[in-house]
Every structure is written in structure tokens, then in C-alpha cells.
Chains A and B, each alone.
Chain A
Amino acid sequence: MTENQQPPRKPDDELRVNFFRPRPGFMRKEVRLIWAMLAGWGICTFGFQFLLVVMQRNEAGESALTDASFFGFPFHYWFSGQSLILWFILLCLVFNLAIDRLNEQYRKRK
């Protein structure tokens, strides 16, 4: 593995692709957007299950969220079984719109 020794300049910054240390500019904005999407994805999916646990009155998970009725469904069931899929579609939609804009911005600049 000698062929991959770095030239004198600091290649680590030139060639850096790192999700946790994105280079300024396009990639940093893209990563920021991804974090926002990941938060929306994680909080609604797993956060809601956590909320169910926090609010539960018994082992089976009975709570105000399971008592409430929404669109004819027990609320928690409606939320997980129906609204989350819609939420996923919405997340993807927003992500695509934002990335389209970002791409346009940076392609013009080049």
C-alpha cells in the first residue's frame, strides 16, 4: 500500500468526505438537511413508541393515546399504521425539493 501516499499539500481537506465533518459549502448544507430529515424520521417513528411507553398505565401499554379515537381508529394505531407512511412520503418530498434547490444553487455557482 505505497501507491496511496499523500502529496505534500493537505489532501485530507481536499478529499474529505465525512458525514460528521462535512466540508463547507454544498456538502455541509446537504448534511444539515439530512440531519433534519433523520430527526423527523427518528422522532416520529421511535419517539412516538417511546411516548407510548412513558405514558402507559400498564404493561400492555394502555394510555391516553390508546383511549383516544381518531378517524375511527385508536389514536396510537392510526398514528403508527396510517399517518407514518404519509409522513415518510412528506419527508421524501421535502428532501427532494430542498436538494433540487441546493443543486441548482451550486451548479450555477460553478
Chain B
Amino acid sequence: MVAEGFKLSPVLLLLAVLAGSMLVGLASRSHKGGYYLVSGRSIGPLGIGAAIASNWMSAASFLGIAGVFYLHGYFALAYVIGWTGGYVLLLILMAGQIRRFGKYTAPEFVEARYDSTVARVLSAVITILISLIYCVAQYKGIGLVFAWMFGFDYTRSLLLGTAVAISYLVVSGTLGAARNQQLHYAILIVCFIVPLMAVAGKLGYFWAIPQLGYGEALHDLAGDTGGSYTFPWTYATPYQWTALCFTLMVGTAGLPHVLSRFYTVPNVRDARWSVVWGIFFIGLLYWSAPAYAVFARIWEGGGPVADPQAARAVADIIVIKAAEWAGVPTWLTGIVAVGAIIAAFSTVTGLLITGAGAFSYDIYYRLINPRASERQRMRMAKGATLVLALLVVFVAVEPPGMIAEITAVAFALAGNTLFPVFLLGIWWDRTNKYGAIAGMLTGLGLTVASLLPGEAFPLLAPTSSALIGAPLVTLVMIIVSLFTPPPPESIRKFLVEKVHAP
């Protein structure tokens, strides 16, 4: 898609950052056996908040959001609000209770709450699907940025990027490098904001706090486009906006790798307070992301997009293009490219490990070989990581949409399945395994239906199906639960005495 020759300084920068973080990881390596990256020293809400943010920031935040802004203006705010407001839902409805539940993964929670292997396996399958979809979006980002850096075509860059990502995962895994998430967050946010300041400065706008100061650029742009860029419903109807925003919110509160952050926090109070910092740290990036897109539009002369096809092709790396177009030096542009790759790498690592863990512990160990030793399960997890990684490449060769859109599908799936299962599991003692299983199947079906080609279900967009899906699945769970026997008393007791204790 974009090949303009090899760029030395960004490549060197990438190598330096990868090697550097590996060294720091080795130096701060904790106790052994860290295949599951759930380290948990007591670092307080601020540190955990940074970990939440670094865990969260992926190619979708780094590249995707600005890309949607570039194409769709105000519509893209549905992403920004959805991906921050979801944490409010997570905090007020679930965070503390999940922490008190004391399980480590989503399938473990499901089994403990619903006392059913079927429900556990189903939630494991959903976890794997979410990981796969989410990863496709990350791979697309990796492929595009590698293409920009190395000047190869997209497919070759994708393969190269995958190879680098997997070798990084394997090497740091075998060396047992821990990941310092606070450092990781600091690198990411600097990588995002410093080049943005340079862009703002080059184009003659207020550069010191560009995320608060790009309003003037927005006004200029609104003037050039007769306002259409900033008007609320130029690119999408109010229904589309609301459906997308709601889907991303409930998806956030149902995403396995987000939820699992809360199991590992030392105590409930820290779990709650860390969310405040988490939203703030995520917000720092989300306040800034639209600015890249706006500056790119300004540089292009401000009018309506001349060639929609070409605009769509560059949208997902508009963050890099904005810097390049504005005349920012290549090494400085390289910083934002490296940041995007680091964000995508770490997200891919986390997702593949979550997916592989779900396969080896919740499906293989539970269903296929209950007598598997710890070593066998570990080998299974490693094998599954590679298989999942390769599966993702197949889909990512022909990416089905923009980075943010693909990611949103993963959120829709989580919002249609795991969100209701967690919500009712925590807030209604009468929910039973039949309800949970029926709910997850309904949610899965709904998500698949939304992906069907054509306008079979006009109100169910692939990115936005949970506005209808989540309430519907909740209803299905309630009805099915009421018509089947209540869950064991021990579970209800646990819910009252432990999970909902003051």
C-alpha cells in the first residue's frame, strides 16, 4: 500500500527500543515461571493505572483512532468516548467485585460462578475469538508501519513484522524478561505526543499543549469544509454514533485481557483507585489522537477529501503521514512509528498469551487431556501461541477493514457475550449455568449475524451490534435462568458473603 524506500533512523530506533526494553526486563526479572505475565508487586494505584493504560494502548489507539478522525470527523469521537467511558462502567459495576471473586482469567470466573465446564469452555472459545480478531487489527498496524519503515509492500512487511513480533515474544519468554509496564507507558505517551508537538509547531499552531490547542486548526478546517468536517452527523447517523459508542463501552467492560488486570491487583481499594489513573493516562493519548488527523487535513489544504480511495489507504497511518507531510525530520517521525509498533507488539503478546492460555488450560486440560502435566500444558500453550499467530496472519493479509473497525468487532463480541455473563453473574444470584450458556450462544450468533454480507440486519453493524445485542442477551439469560433450577446455594452464599461484602 505504501512503499517509499528504506528509512534508516526509524529502523535503528526500533532496534534500540526493543533491545533496551529487553535489557530492562532482564534486569528487573522477578521470580521464575513468568509465562503468564501477571506480576504484581505493590506499586500503588498510580503505578497500576499506568499498567492499565499500557496494557490498553494498542495499534487501535495509536493509529486507528486518528485514522477514523481523518476520514469521519466527529463520528470518530464515538471511539474516544466509548474506549474511555467503558472504564466507568467497569469500575462502578464490576471492578471491586471481580477482584473479590479472586479468579485469574475470564473462563475461570465463569466456571467458579456458573459451576459448569460447558460454560467455561464456551467462554474460552469466545476469549480466543476475541484475541484473534483483536490481533488481526494489530497485525494490520504492524504491517503498515513496517511497510513505511522498510519500503516493502504490505504483505512482505506483514510477514517480516510477524516474524519480528514472534521472535521477540520467544526470546523474551525464554530469557524470562519481565515487562515494566510503567516504563512502557512512559515510552508510548512520549512517542505519541512529542512528534505531535513538532507537527503543530511546523504548521504554525499552538504547540506546547497541542491536544488542547488544536481547536484553532479545527476552526480553520471547519471553515474550509463549510463546517461539514466537524458537524455531528455528516458521516454517520445519531443511531450509528450511539450504537458504536455503547458497543465499545460494554465491550471494554467485557474484554478478557482488560478484566484480568483487576484480578491481579493486590487489594480491592487499589483496584478501584487505579481506574481513575488508568482513564487519565489513556485520556492523555485520546485527547491528542484527533489532533494528528486534523493537522493532516490542514496540510492537505483543508477541503473535502479529493480521492476517497487514496484517503482510505493512508488513513490508518495518518499519524505517521501527518508528521511526514508537515516536514518533521524522519527520525522524529520515526518515534511515532516506533511507538505504534511497540504498542502493537505488546498488545499482540498479551492477546496471544491470553488466547493460548484459554486453549491450553480451559479447553485442552479440561476437555481433551485432564491428566496433562504442568509441562504438557505449558508446551500446549506455547504451541497454541504459534498457531494463533499464524492464523492471524492469514486474515491480516487481506484486512477486512480499518484498524479501529476491526478492533471494534472484537469489542462487539465481548459486549454481546462476556459482558452480560459477568454483569448478571455478579449482580443477580439467580443467574445459572443454563442462562449463561444460552446467553453466550445468543451473543455469538448475534455477532456472526452482524458480520453477514449485505444489509441482512440493517441495525446490526459489525462494529456496533452490542447496543441491541447486550440488552437482548441479558434478557435471554434472565428468561432461561428463571425457567431452570437456581444455582447451588454455595455459590449464592459466596456471592453475598465474599463478593458483595463491604
A residues at B contact (CB < 8 Å): 1, 3-4, 6, 11, 14-19, 26-27, 33-34, 37-38, 41, 45-46, 49-50, 52-53, 56, 59-62, 66, 69, 71-74, 76-78, 80-82, 84-86, 88-89, 91-93, 95-96, 99-100, 102-103, 105-107, 110
Q: 7 nearest interchain CB pairs? A: A72-B215, A61-B232, A106-B502, A73-B215, A61-B233, A17-B429, A60-B231
Nearest-neighbour CB distance to chain B for A17, whole angstroms, equals: 4
B172 within 8 A of A: no
Task: Beyond the given A52-B233, A88-B88, please list 9 additional residue pairs across the A-B interface where CB-CB is below 8 A.
Answer: A1-B485, A15-B492, A18-B430, A53-B238, A72-B219, A73-B215, A74-B222, A88-B85, A99-B96
Please list 7 pairs of residues, one from A and one from B, whose beta carbons are closer than 8 Å in the complex, sorted by A's number.
Answer: A1-B485, A14-B496, A17-B492, A61-B238, A74-B230, A88-B279, A92-B88
A73 touching B429, Cβ below 8 Å? no
B 227-254 contacts with A by CB, 8 A: 227-228, 230-234, 238, 241-242, 245-246
Q: 1/0 contact trace for B481-492 toward A, CB 8 Å?
A: 000011111001
Contacts of A50 in B (CB 8 A): 238
Contacts of A41 in B (CB 8 A): 85, 88-89, 92
How far apart sit A82 and B284, CA to CA, in the bound complex (Å)?
10
With both beta carbons as reference points, the residue of chain A lying nearest to B73 in the complex is identified as A77
Q: 1/0 contact trace for B184-223 toward A, CB 8 Å?
A: 0000000000000000000000000000110110110010
B84 within 8 A of A: yes
A85 touching B96, Cβ below 8 Å? no
B273 within 8 A of A: yes
A61 with B287, Cβ < 8 A, contacts A27-B500, A82-B212, A89-B279 known: no
A89 touching B489, Cβ below 8 Å? no
Q: 1/0 contact trace for B39-59 toward A, CB 8 Å?
A: 000000000000000000000
B341 within 8 A of A: no
A80 touching B77, Cβ below 8 Å? yes
User: Which of B215, B234, B275 touches A60 (beta carbons < 8 Å)?
Assistant: B234
Contacts of B299 in A (CB 8 A): none
B232 touching A82, Cβ below 8 Å? no
A96 with B272, Cβ < 8 A, contacts A17-B500, A85-B279 known: yes
With both beta carbons as reference points, the residue of chain B lying nearest to A19 in the complex is identified as B427
A84 with B232, Cβ < 8 A, contacts A49-B238, A72-B216, A74-B218 known: no
B7 within 8 A of A: no
With both beta carbons as reference points, the residue of chain A lying nearest to B215 in the complex is identified as A72
B80 within 8 A of A: yes
B280 within 8 A of A: yes
User: Which of A11, A56, A100 touches B489 (beta carbons < 8 Å)?
Assistant: A11
A17 with B495, Cβ < 8 A, contacts A37-B92, A85-B80, A93-B276 known: yes
How far apart sit A41 and B272, CA to CA, in the bound complex (Å)?
17
How far apart sit A82 and B288, CA to CA, in the bound complex (Å)?
10
User: Which of B77, B231, B238 touches A81 (beta carbons < 8 Å)?
Assistant: B77
Contacts of B88 in A (CB 8 A): 37, 41, 88, 91-92
Contacts of B486 in A (CB 8 A): 4
How far apart sit A92 and B279, CA to CA, in the bound complex (Å)?
9
B269 within 8 A of A: yes
Please, how many residues of chain B have a CB less than 8 angstroms from a CB on the other chain? 59
A89 touching B272, Cβ below 8 Å? no
Contacts of A53 in B (CB 8 A): 233, 238
A84 touching B230, Cβ below 8 Å? no
With both beta carbons as reference points, the residue of chain A lying nearest to B487 in the complex is identified as A4
B488 touching A3, Cβ below 8 Å? yes
How far apart sit A54 and B286, CA to CA, in the bound complex (Å)?
28
A77 touching B74, Cβ below 8 Å? yes
A82 touching B485, Cβ below 8 Å? no
With both beta carbons as reference points, the residue of chain A lying nearest to B231 in the complex is identified as A60
With most chain B CB atoms within 10 A of its CB, the pick from A46, A78, A105 is: A46
A18 touching B429, Cβ below 8 Å? yes
B 268-311 contacts with A by CB, 8 A: 269, 272-273, 275-276, 279-280, 283, 286-287, 290
User: Which of A17, A27, A37, A61 touches B231 (beta carbons < 8 Å)?
Assistant: A61
B428 touching A17, Cβ below 8 Å? yes
A85 touching B241, Cβ below 8 Å? no
A76 with B275, Cβ < 8 A, contacts A17-B496, A18-B429, A91-B88 known: no
B493 touching A15, Cβ below 8 Å? yes
